Structure 1
Amino acid sequence: MALVQSINVSTGGIPKLPLPSCATTAIGLQGDGREHSKHATLDRAVSLFDIEIMRQLNTEGYNLVPGAIGENITVEGLAVQELEDGDCLHFSGGVVIELTEARKPCFVLDPLGVTLKKDIVGRCGYLAKVRTEGTFTIGDTIVVTKAIH
């Protein structure tokens, strides 16, 4: 079963720090800032990353915790990188998001390790827009609706 492991926000930059729950609107999670204007669009309102990839990166020598790479929602039991643009994630708390693009690593990750940007290519998570506003809560279950292409 896929579920929300951590909900993370910051006023800008990384790390994002955990909260037990957080309201979200079309522009993103309440209290979450984005330092770079290219990140502040409706199609990039929420970022996702799966804990399984984080654990794998930690076995490769990194010391990552939820929110470290700047993701808003850390999920468990959901292979985020296997999803596609247009797939919708329905959270048991009522929020619905639509995946818009695979996240690409950028210079923001540099303080976490000189090779992290290279090592995380293809497994950096996903960006999404908010389809239905509401509140994310740790432990929310997630159901995926595949996009029709």
Structure 2
Amino acid sequence: MPHILAVARSAVHGFSKAGCGSITLLAGLGVEGDAHAGETVKHRSRVRADPTQPNLRQVHLLHQEMLDELRAQGFALQPGDIGENVTTSGLDLLALPEGTQLRLGDSAVVQVTGLRNPCTQLDSFRPGLMRALLGRDAAGQVVRKAGIMGIVLAGGTIRAGDTLQAILPPLPHRALQKV
């Protein structure tokens, strides 16, 4: 059964986020008390480019199975280490189509907007981590494995152990792209 394994937030722009007992998702804004919350983009490089663009990265989700894969490659990572707000288990987040709605706990809903694009900060945190979070598919296309991003459609408080349900959008499905 898919569920939430851990939640995290950070009030300051940094790399990792501290785990906590619960986080509150705010509709149209993101994670209460998190530096990336807001209607417009908060990622520093994106703010420099255009501070008025909509924030499609209000919530960062990563599945535990990716942390397990990284652990097998020698990277000892814990939930929140690479900046994710929500660590899940039992659902391949990277395989979801754009527009999927994720029901988290009793009331929160996050709409998937795209893939997190791995950046060089990963290598500053753990040398070689960026390469481990990038791959190539059978056609030679880049595969990004650093988690997914979403916007909050309905708010609510979520915590470890809460349920996770994916509601797919109508067909045709569009593969996730970097946001």
Please classify the TM superposition score into its range, dividing by the shorter chain length: over 0.9
Structure 1: 5+ residue stretches without partners: none
- Structure 1 residue ranges, 4+ long, deviating more than 4 angstroms after superposition: none
Contact 1:14 1:67 in 2 (8 A): no
Does 2:40 correspond to 1:27? Answer: no
Which whole-Å CA distance do the structure 2 matches of 1:5 and 1:31 have between them? 20
Which whole-Å CA distance do the structure 1 matches of 2:118 and 2:96 have between them? 18
What secondary structure, in the 3-state scheme, does the structure 2 residue paired with 1:42 have? coil
Q: CA 1:137–1:93 in 2, change beyond 3 Å: closer, same or farther?
A: farther
Contact 1:13 1:108 in 2 (8 A): no
Q: Percent identity among equivalent residues?
A: 29
- The TM-score with structure 1 as length reference comes to 0.92
Structure 2: 5+ residue stretches without partners: 37-42, 135-143, 173-179
Residue in 1 that maps onto 2:113: 100
What secondary structure, in the 3-state scheme, does the structure 1 residue paired with 2:56 have? helix
Which whole-Å CA distance do the structure 2 matches of 1:100 and 1:94 have between them? 19
Aligned with residue 98 of structure 2, among 85, 98, 107: 85
Does 2:85 correspond to 1:72? Answer: yes
Deviations 1:26-72 (A, max 9, x none): 22111111462528853110010001110110110111100001000
What secondary structure, in the 3-state scheme, does the structure 2 residue paired with 1:53 have? helix
Residue in 1 that maps onto 2:15: 14
Residue in 1 that maps onto 2:149: 127
What amino acid does structure 2 have at the position aligned with 1:31?
G
Aligned with residue 146 of structure 1, among 165, 168, 171: 168
Q: How many correspondences in the alignment?
A: 149
Does 2:4 correspond to 1:4? Answer: yes
Does 2:46 correspond to 1:38? Answer: yes
**Pairwise CA distance, 1:22:** 1.1
Deviations 1:48-103 (A, max 9, x none): 00011101101101111000010000001111111111011012221001000111
Which whole-Å CA distance do the structure 2 matches of 1:104 and 1:37 have between them? 13
Name the Cα RMSD after superposition.
1.7
Which structure is larger by alpha-carbon Rg, 1 or 2?
A: 2
What amino acid does structure 1 have at the position aligned with 2:6?
S
- The TM-score with structure 2 as length reference comes to 0.78
